[in-house]
Amino acid sequence: MSDLNKVSLIDTSEEEQASLVQAIPAPKAPAQKEHDTNLLDDVVEDVQPHTTTSTTIEPEIKQHQDEAITMATTTTTAKEEDWEDDKKEHPLASLSLEEYENNDPWAAQPEDNALLQADVDEDNAEAALVQQPVATTTVFDADNRQEPVAEEQLDEDTSATKGFQNFHDSDKIDDLNVKGQLPEWLVGEHFTIGPSTFDIKYTRKIEIDGELQNASAFYTFGHWFDALPLVNRFDLNGSRNSVTYRHRSTSRRLVEKIREHHGYAPQHPNALYMSNTNQTVLSKFLGSSKVNKPDAEPCAARILANIPGLEGRLFAQNYANHVQELDPFDLKPTRLLQWNEINPKFKGTSSCPNGKYDARTGEYINFSMEVGYQSVKYNFFSISDKNPKGSLLASVTAPMAYVNNFSITPKYIIFVICPILANAGGVKYNWNESIMDSFSFRPSEPTLFYVISREKGDVVATYRSDPCFVFNHINAFEDDRDGVYLDMICYPDDTIARQLTTEYLRNPSTMQPSRLVASEVRRYLLANIEEEKITYMANNSLIPSKTSVTTRIFGLFGKKQTPASSDLEYNNQDQDTNKWYSWMPIASYDKRVQPSIELPQINPKFSMYKHTIMYGLGFSAASSLKDGAIWDSIVKTNMDTKQIEASWHQDFCYPSEAVFVPRPSIGPEDEVGEDEGVLISVVMNSAKSTSFLLVLDAGSLNVLATADLERLVPLSFAHGSYRLREN
């Protein structure tokens, strides 16, 4: 129906308006099925009159309009409606940690969404989704007073499972339709990296009735982190309010290799997180002598717009010792290198994908893990534009463990070893098994904290605390009493890593345990570092350095160290003096905000210094009670008050990492606040089987702008980056 046929209340006489009032039926009660909030703009546009001048509208007509708009904006579940009717504050808006844990905001668990029985598409193994219309809206027509019009087709399956299917790649550049207004200062590029290919189809020979025939099969990566990577590039221009989008799968050559060999047998450790190679043991001895092409190695853990000291403008990293250079415009891989190619002292079979940048010194700091015959060294190094060949900061001999992150302060490197330690003396690791097959969580072992002096290049102190598992550090900063505070997202063990498999994410009803393990945001205190240096120097030889846990020292008579005095609680479960670690001082900690936050972000200008605001992905009240649910909200928390200050959530939508982009200062007198900036996230709308770019105001988490990608982009647990240009 064209806009010309819509009734304009401004152009009608009072008598005609009165007749319209009689013709318009009373609004219906809101439907029980939830409506997508993206329908709001379209619905309101149809209901509201097109006004060009100030005109008084008949009260009854105005009442119907208001009620229609109210129906259009209904996006809450039944329990949430009760909360709104009572005019109570949203339970997630201001709850403290204790209130959140002790009071279930909506006690009744919502019914699970029905999952469709998926048919496998032979080309890409994606689910064939049956779409059903679930929402209509009514517009007023001059000839027909009431006419239901289906605004759009929404899927019956609104689960997150669609975010773990293959992506259809192309080299097309898209100009996106922007709704809302980008900040004028937001001019630059935003890069994300995540999964592109989970399933690869190949042909094999089978015997049927004595004859060989071709049959199709699929090789499927077993873990979310193992899927072959997709790089997304968004060029944002706030002054023009425009966004262009380009994407590329960066391991196309590897797809052909897997198709040829019917599986993937990496020739180096840490290449897979938790996947079956579908290859024989013999393949591990048949290493290729050829140098891999740039697109033959998957680098999917992180993307960086810049690494100081390296020529190039875009880099991707993996858990192994690889850095992949990409063309920043067409995203083609152009070079593949290892850290020891920059400097032989940076040798190691794996490295950390989450290196740190010190804006004061211009240094990029990272480490590689060098596995020896009987011990393991973690080689910390720095590179910069002033020193592109880099320098070795420290070599730390420590237990062989899976370490995904670390932190830095102006004076120290804080290196945390959780007790997820090597199996069988590191034999599986050296045989190129996946990470989660090579390491096991040992709850009887402590979490170790190494404090490394950046100036002296030595370990100056070690601390211990409860066993825990960590994906991501938040920040570390020094106090004025010779101590360091360290914020991390902690789990009780490594169960969370084993829950994020392709099978569980595609079939959440089978997940074990049935809900994602809750995380804790902890703030640790490493107190009196200089004093503890004496303790460390006297006892450091007692720290096990063998690759196997069987070399642990028991029956040790050592110094018993009391916890440092602080207002933090001590939670260590094992204080026996006969343990090999009993001489270590204790890293005390407390909980800072509600559980189940991941992919934390702070204003990067506060990195290495005390911060107050932290952002991350969280759970809405309904999804927090639902089996198999994943993160569906973006949360702003206050680390001092331990409260949730704001949250963003939209029904059936699942965000990937929300990257904080600070507002640039326009002069020396322009002080930019800690939460002044925007959060940018790629969000999957499962109800529409598409994704959109979301730009939030970092202070209020109000939506500033969205841009529809017109395709579904798989969900990502990896880290993105941005690069602003001068406006």
Q: How far apart (Å, rounded) are the C-alpha atoms in residues 581 and 451?
A: 16
Q: Is residue 321 a contact partner of residue 307, using CB atoms and an 8 Å limit? A: no
Q: How far apart (Å, rounded) are the C-alpha atoms in residues 367 and 720?
A: 20
Alpha helices in 561-698, H assignment, sequence order = none
Which residues lie below 8 Å from residue 626, measured CB to CB, with a gap of 6+?
Answer: 109, 110, 112, 515
- Exposure class string for 324-349: b at 16+ Cβ within 10 A, else e: bbbebeebebeebbbbbebbeebbbb
Q: What is the maximal distance between C-alpha atoms in the chain?
A: 98
Q: Is residue 29 a contact partner of residue 50, using CB atoms and an 8 Å limit? A: no
Rg value, the chain, Cα: 28
Which residues lie below 8 Å from residue 259, measured CB to CB, with a gap of 6+?
Answer: 200, 201, 202
Q: Please choose, from the candidates 274, 358, 362, 351, the residue with its C-alpha nearest in 3D space to the C-alpha of residue 319.
A: 351
Q: Please choose, from the candidates 372, 373, 371, the residue with its C-alpha nearest in 3D space to the C-alpha of residue 351.
A: 371
Which residues lie below 8 Å from residue 386, measured CB to CB, with a gap of 6+?
Answer: 362
- Vertex 301 angle, CA 463 and 196, to 5°: 155
Q: How far apart (Å, rounded) are the C-alpha atoms in residues 366 and 387?
A: 15
Beta bridge partners of 472: none
Which tokens belong to 624? Answer: 């927090």
* 3-state SS class at 197: strand
* 3-state SS class at 340: helix
Q: How far apart (Å, rounded) are the C-alpha atoms in residues 474 and 593?
A: 13
Sign of torsion, CA 345 350 352 355? positive
* 3-state SS class at 446: coil
* Residues belonging to the chain: 727
Residue with tokens 């106090």: 479
Does 719 carry a binding-site annotation? yes
Which tokens belong to 251? Answer: 């391991």
Sign of torsion, CA 306 309 315 319? negative
SS (H, E, C) 231-267: EEEEEEECCCCEEEEEEEECCHHHHHHHHHHCCCCCC
Is residue 388 reached through a cis peptide bond, with omega within 30 degrees of 0 on the bond before it?
no
Q: Please choose, from the candidates 144, 150, 146, 142, the residue with its C-alpha nearest in 3D space to the C-alpha of residue 64.
A: 146
Q: How far apart (Å, rounded) are the C-alpha atoms in residues 37 and 652?
A: 10
Q: Which amino acid is at 462?
A: T
What DSSP designation does 544 have? -
Strands 690-697 and 174-176: unpaired
Q: How far apart (Å, rounded) are the C-alpha atoms in residues 179 and 63?
A: 28
Strands of 459-465's sheet in order across: 407-408, 412-417, 447-453, 459-465
Q: How far apart (Å, rounded) are the C-alpha atoms in residues 658 and 686?
A: 18
Q: What's the burial of 230, exposed, middle or buried (CB within 10 Å: 0-12/13-18/19+)?
A: buried
As annotated, the binding site for Fe cation includes 719
As annotated, the binding site includes 719
